[in-house]
A and B are shown apart, each in its own frame.
Chain A
Amino acid sequence: DVKVTQSSRYLVKRTGEKVFLECVQDMDHENMFWYRQDPGLGLRLIYFSYDVKMKEKGDIPEGYSVSREKKERFSLILESASTNQTSMYLCASSSGTPSLGDTQYFGPGTRLTVL
């Protein structure tokens, strides 16, 4: 079974702090994704990566950066946390073959609260 793990389930930070969220997958997947989930808005893509050291902006990249130094690990960084970044953050990975039905596998999520 594919396993995607995230470094924390719950996190509380103060405004202005630098926040690191880490995601690790164990299936040698090419693609990794960071989403935020807010009630009534579905999932919104922040960044994704299709290879080591490669990244692409999603729909809402402002205020975030990412790092993918190793294939299995994809980090989301909030350079200076703000209260409007309070949300559920979901990491996902996929094998990278959309023509065959490229299911994304999700981690358990990190609920971040910024005070």
Chain B
Amino acid sequence: ELKVEQNPLFLSMQEGKNYTIYCNYSTTSDRLYWYRQDPGKSLESLFVLLSNGAVKQEGRLMASLDTKARLSTLHITAAVHDLSATYFCAVDIGLDSNYQLIWGAGTKLIIKP
């Protein structure tokens, strides 16, 4: 069965702390996406990871991909309240002509002042 598992599903943390969200997947893929969703709003793209060892950084967020371990991480450095949101990873399992994303359940992140 194709699975994308995020861990943890819920995270409450203090401002200024570091933490990592994990995304494990069960099938071969070298394309993985991270999205953010604010409460009551739609999803917006954060990172696109297209190969083994890919690392992308934007502000306090850094995403990486290890295709051999079938694992992606989203690392938060010195968290601030504005990063409170739900974060989703999605794995591309399809072929170039007919691809499909399998989504994780999302990690709800609450950052307390």
Contacts and interface: CB of A to CB of B under 8 A. Distances in A.
Interface of A: 40-45, 48, 50, 56, 58, 90, 92, 98-109
Interface string B71-113: 0000000000000000010101010111111011110000000
Given A40-B9, A42-B103, A98 B44 contact: no
Interface of B: 4, 9, 31, 33, 41-45, 48, 50, 88, 90, 92, 94, 96-101, 103-106
Given A50-B98, A98-B99, A99-B96, A105 B106 contact: no
A106 B96 contact: no
B103 A101 contact: no
B105 A90 contact: no
A90 B106 contact: no
Contacts of A100: 50
A42 B96 contact: no
Contacts of B105: 40-42
Given A40-B105, A98-B31, A101-B50, A45 B43 contact: no
Contacts of A50: 97-98
A105 B33 CA distance: 12
B58 to A, nearest CB: 14
18 contacts: A42-B104, A42-B105, A42-B106, A43-B88, A43-B103, A56-B98, A58-B100, A90-B42, A98-B92, A98-B94, A98-B99, A99-B96, A101-B48, A101-B50, A103-B33, A104-B43, A106-B43, A108-B42
What are the 5 closest A-B residue pairs judged by CB atoms, nearest first? A101-B48, A42-B103, A106-B42, A43-B103, A42-B105
A102 B105 CA distance: 20
